[in-house]
Amino acid sequence: MLKNIPLLDQHNNIVGETTIPEAYSKGYWRRGVRVFLFNERGEMLLQQRSSTLESHAGFWTESAGGHVDIDELDIEAACREAQEELGTAVNLTAVEYGLRSTIQDDKSFCTVYTGYLPSDTKIILNTNEVAQVRWISVADLDIAIKNDLYDFVPSFVEVWQLCCDKILAA
């Protein structure tokens, strides 16, 4: 069964309901969350998206993320996505609200969260969504982005470049 998500106007106001496939196919604005998790060494957990996903299959992105369901708060969606994708509960702090994507094929507003995840946490991947995860230092991530060393989801790169100071300060 498809879950409904808020249908948004270009100013992040809810104007109705839609489904994720319909939002993508018709180019509707939608609301999402992005979760950046760090360990005790200051490394960020990256995830590689499953090869079976329709959007950016096999690309690398933030620790967890996804769409906000209808009647769901952004923080609830962020915690749900971390649980669904990584099999672990996390405490999160919002660092940016309603960030509007400028990526042509990504009509979304997202709230950006950060949190702490010890490196020895048992992660149980939802392999329908996540192929693998890895810890990466901030310096190595910046080098990888600058030199195109991985296939990154373009909107992940955009959010990281716009919000990295806020993410790292949290």
Q: What is the pLDDT of residue 3?
A: 85
β-pairing verdict for 30-38 and 14-19: unpaired
Structural domain range at position 89: 4-169
Distance CA 91, CA 58 (A): 27
Residue 26 is part of a domain; what is its CATH number? 3.90.79.10
pLDDT at 1 over 70: no
Question: 85-118: per-residue pLDDT in tens?
Answer: 999 999 999 999 999 999 888 899 999 999 999 9
Question: 57-88: per-residue pLDDT in tens?
Answer: 999 999 999 999 999 999 999 999 999 999 99
Q: How many domains does the chain have?
A: 1
Q: What is the mean pLDDT of residues 148-154?
A: 94
Q: What is the pLDDT of residue 41?
A: 98
